[in-house]
A and B are shown apart, each in its own frame.
Chain A
């Protein structure tokens, strides 16, 4: 019996302790600046950056959520909170479903290893079993169009080629919850077309998508719900048609 895929946050807060900052150099009141989280001091006199504050929302099966906000508003921190990298310092986070994070698709890649070896490395980090990669290795090789370079060390690749490989491997996951930081767009014009198709296929198979973006066109096209973050708090939460005009203007 399948449990419904969902993400439920209740008053979730993320406070980063800064150990080598001097609390005495801060002004007494909380500083509000144009970008960034809220800097303050906690009860022990320790400098703390409150990256996210009192987040309360629930994502359901079928939600395509867009995160918008200025630099430093907390979008990436929220993505990491969603993926489980950070536990909230207060409040609760309850996630039901398998998560895959496509935030940094080159993470874990070893430049000295061959393309083929890196596929297994990258795939393993994403949570794929060896057998699953074995079954799809030919498909990945064909898709990335790297030919004989597959058996060459990655350091011999151009940046574009490295990204193609990272993209090809990262998009064979089939998670229930998918997290992205900006839409993945790699390769030259010709490659981009098939990359678009592949990414759309992936997104369609997931139950919940959460994507952070600065692009109005993207969030209006892909998302059915927008969350506007400012200084770590939810400023607006609703349909793109309602939220986008307020944030982007007009």
Chain B
């Protein structure tokens, strides 16, 4: 093949990689039945023969939210009506994101048995872990209406916007999970590093503290440059009766687009190596 310009070869390489990735992703989406079954089975497996099952997670989360809410609202001198719903949503959504990303690190490693025996599109394993985390989120979500009822705060129609925000959040989390699945299959230290980094972000992100409590100088660093702040706000703010800011949307959308483009090329290039790395 005669190339007119050396630059062209790289272009072809990127498009080839991206198309391999896209083919795999669409093949995985067509196997949605299998994804649904495997994800559901993952959740069931943890809780067979236990009475309350996945609701144990919900109860422990509820207890933690109640305790932190009661104590910290006193420390911050914030009203419970304002602080508790904010805290509850922050913890529920953070726990969902954290779990999806951490599971993402082990996405292919955990599915080693299947990957080395059956030629199933690899992206199925990512969809599966996303689905099981959504199922668990469904269980934990019931804490929020309970909290609203207990503090007597109503929900406005703005809450519907949080659905769009949630979709955008998941789109972002999935590219992160896909990237980490591939990367961690090769470099087994990464899951530990990711875990530590996320721990740090938990404190840097407004979950246990509200942005209004911050002095002006710190807000740029802790809020605007923190992608997790934006990811959380697009889901949390509408549910609390506020609109997310333009910056929240721009960052989330921007990261979604750029993230996916980069990951598509990366995944397409290294997908064929994953079975060799496991």
A174 to chain B, nearest CB (A): 17
> Which residues of chain B from 248 to 273 have any CB-CB distance to chain A below 8 Å in the complex?
272
Q: Does B275 contact A (CB under 8 A)?
A: yes
Q: Mark B158-193, 1 if CB is under 8 A from A, else 0.
A: 000000000000000000000000000000000000
B117 lies within 8 A of A101 (CB): yes
B276 lies within 8 A of A16 (CB): yes
B41 lies within 8 A of A113 (CB): yes
A85 lies within 8 A of B275 (CB): yes
Q: Say yes or no: A125-B114 contact (C-beta < 8 A), given A17-B276, A110-B45, A130-B33.
A: yes
Q: Say yes or no: A84-B119 contact (C-beta < 8 A), given A120-B37, A130-B33.
A: yes
Q: Say yes or no: A103-B276 contact (C-beta < 8 A), given A112-B48, A113-B41, A125-B34.
A: no
B117 lies within 8 A of A104 (CB): yes
User: Which residues does chain B contribute within 8 Å of A86, judged by CB atoms?
Assistant: 275-276
Q: Does A124 contact B (CB under 8 A)?
A: yes
Q: Say yes or no: A107-B114 contact (C-beta < 8 A), given A124-B37, A125-B120.
A: yes
Contact residue range for chain B?
20 to 34
User: Which residues does chain A contribute within 8 Å of B31, judged by CB atoms?
Assistant: 124
A101 lies within 8 A of B33 (CB): no
* CB-based nearest A residue for B48: A112
* CB-based nearest A residue for B187: A19
* CB-based nearest B residue for A103: B117
A83 lies within 8 A of B275 (CB): no
B118 lies within 8 A of A85 (CB): yes
> Which residues of chain B from 98 to 149 have any CB-CB distance to chain A below 8 Å in the complex?
113-120
CA–CA, A17 and B278, complex, Å? 10
CA–CA, A108 and B34, complex, Å? 11
A110 lies within 8 A of B118 (CB): no
Q: Does A5 contact B (CB under 8 A)?
A: no
CA–CA, A83 and B116, complex, Å? 10
Q: Mark B5-36, 1 if CB is under 8 A from A, else 0.
A: 00000000000000000000000000101100
A66 to chain B, nearest CB (A): 21
Q: Say yes or no: A121-B276 contact (C-beta < 8 A), given A85-B115, A101-B119, A104-B117.
A: no
Q: Mark A123-143, 1 if CB is under 8 A from B, else 0.
A: 011100110000000000000
Q: A: which residues have CB within 8 A of B?
A: 16-17, 80, 83-87, 89, 99, 101, 103-104, 107-108, 110, 112-113, 120-121, 124-126, 129-130
Q: Can you list 24 A-B pairs, Cβ within 8 angstroms, ordered by A? A: A17-B276, A80-B117, A83-B119, A85-B115, A85-B119, A86-B275, A87-B272, A101-B117, A101-B119, A107-B113, A107-B117, A107-B118, A108-B118, A112-B44, A112-B45, A112-B49, A113-B41, A120-B37, A121-B38, A124-B34, A124-B37, A125-B118, A125-B120, A130-B33
Q: B: which residues have CB within 8 A of A?
A: 31, 33-34, 37-38, 41, 44-45, 48-49, 113-120, 272, 275-277
